[in-house]
Amino acid sequence: MTYQDIISNHVIKENAIILAIESSCDETACAVLRGRNELLSSEIESSMTEHIKFGGVVPEVASRAHTTALSIVVDRAIKNAGITLKDIDAVAVTYGAGLLGALLVGLSYAKALAYSLQVPLIPVSHIRGHLAAIYLADKKLKPPFISLLASGGHTAIIEVQSYENFNILGGTLDDAVGEAFDKIARVLGLNYPGGPNIERLAKEGKPNIKLPLMLKGKGGYDFSYSGLKTAVINYVHRANQLGEDINKADVACSFQCSAVDVLVEKAILAAKECGVDTVTAGGGVVANGYLRERLNNECAKNGLKVVLPPKNLCTDNAAMIASEGYIQYLKGNFASLDLNASARVGLK
């Protein structure tokens, strides 16, 4: 029998053990999940410190780091899950979106592992993974709900109608919110990754600088971050030219409020207009304490339930890939071994 025959005859098990691999950016991650939401292990190695001096992720450096870290991270995930290789029922892998070279390292490894174990290979979209992280946070949660996706590459409000069906209500017309955090951090002389550093500095500041409200209160569910970014850059440059001191903490705090408030407002509006009672969120920016606090407070005020992934499941990880992998596994969505990586993969 060929590998393809074996996969075609694979009997779907509800309690399947899925090993997932994520390598789309600078995190090398592997997780082991049993069934829909019993997370047995989740391991991450990051090459972030190697990128700091360049001010952002250098794709070639990230790819090389994945090649050295991957087998170590996989071994650790298997060991910490208390399983052996022969217990694995399927291998899930991020095939996009992300950096092509980085994705290819994880994808090649996953293909080789799936083939050697003669188990199915499950192709997972990174974006769907971010949304599926929520099923690990609340094991009782089921669609429908509204999901706010806020990462380095995506910003969107999504009506999650079922595990499989999504209605994208709106998204960014230009920069993603995480990208805006990273760019403003650079302007303020903060290191990569910008988001956590802006959040830290913002705690010492006040939101006393008037910045554009972007599409707050208008534009449906769409977002635009380029105007906000330009306004902050102009504010800093103008002060530099006049030789005036700026209070960087106030800039960080004012920017964070503007960037986050519009996300919260539109997520709540979506829940009301779609008639659902739960708001969830996913993506690296959801690790932001101010965003979490605002979502919690505003949902409470509006009688909505809010479910947020723990911070370590917001930023890139493989547990979320396993969670989405399980949804695809139940559908029998298996890839053949010629699956290619793709820099752009969306929700659908």
Please choose, out of 59-67, 187-195, 203-211, 267-275, the segment that lies near ligand KG4 by the rule CB under 6 A: 187-195
Residue 182 makes contact with Zn ion by CB under 5 A: no
In the bound state with ligand KG4, the residue whose beta carbon lies nearer, of 47 and 315, is 315
* 316 counts as binding Zn ion under rule CB under 5 A: yes
Q: Which of 63, 147, 288, 323 binds ligand KG4 (CB under 6 A)?
A: 288
| Site map (CB under 5 A) of Zn ion, residues 145-164, x = contact | ------x-------------
Q: Which residues of 186-224 are buried (b: 16+ CB within 10 A; e: fewer)?
A: ebbebebbbbbbbbebbeebebebebeebbeeeeebbbb
Count of residues of this chain found to bind ligand KG4 when the rule CB under 6 A is applied: 21
Q: Which residues contact 188 (CB under 8 A, 6 or more apart)?
A: 198, 201, 236, 248, 251, 252
Q: Are 177 and 291 in contact (CB under 8 A)?
A: no
Using the rule CB under 6 A, give the single segment among 157-165, 209-217, 264-272, 280-288 that binds ligand KG4.
Answer: 280-288
Minimum distance from residue 313 beta carbon to ligand KG4 (Å) = 10
Burial of 321 (0-12, 13-18, 19+ CB in 10 A): buried
Residues 251, 245: contact at Cβ < 8 Å? no
DSSP H/E element including 68? helix 59-81
Q: Is 199 in the site for ligand KG4 (CB under 6 A)?
A: yes
Q: Which does 252 bind (CB under 5 to 8 A by kind): Zn ion, ligand KG4, none?
A: none
Nearer to Zn ion, 199 or 316 (CB): 316
From residue 141 to residue 170, the character string flagging contacts with ligand KG4 as x (rule: CB under 6 A) and all else as - is: ----------xxx-----------------
Among 22, 45, 222, 316, binds ligand KG4 (CB under 6 A): 316
| Inter-CA distances, 164 with 66, 140, 285, 327, 345, Å | 30, 17, 24, 8, 15
d(CA 97, CA 344): 5
283 binds ligand KG4 (CB under 6 A): yes
Please work out, in degrees rounded to the nearest 5, the angle formed at the alpha carbon of residue 218 by the alpha carbons of 213 and 220: 125
Q: Rounded to an integer, what is the distance from CA 297 to the centroid of its chain?
A: 23
Residue choice 120, 193, 205, 309 for contact with ligand KG4 (CB under 6 A): 193
Our CB check for ligand KG4 shows the closer of 90 and 281 to be 281
Q: How far apart are CA 110 and CA 94, in angstroms?
A: 9
The tokens 């694995």 sit on which residue? 88
Q: Which of 310, 318, 183, 201 is nearest to 250 (CA)?
A: 201
Q: Is 195 in the site for ligand KG4 (CB under 6 A)?
A: yes
> What tokens appear for 77 in the block?
């995930």
Q: How far is the CB of 245 from ligand KG4 (least distance, A)?
A: 25
Which residues, 11 to 30, sit near ligand KG4 by CB under 6 A?
Answer: 25
Q: What is the DSSP letter of 79?
A: H
Strands (E), the chain: 17-22, 27-34, 38-46, 90-96, 121-125, 145-150, 155-160, 166-171, 278-282, 305-307
Task: Kindly state the smallest distance separating residue 286's Cβ from ligand KG4, in Å.
Answer: 8
What mask, x for binding ligand KG4 by CB under 6 A, covers residues 107 to 126? --------------------
Residues 143, 178, 309, 325: which binds ligand KG4 (CB under 6 A)?
A: 178
Name the residues that contact Zn ion, by CB under 5 A: 151, 316
Name the residues that contact ligand KG4, by CB under 6 A: 25, 130, 151-153, 178-179, 181-182, 193-196, 199, 283-285, 287-288, 315-316
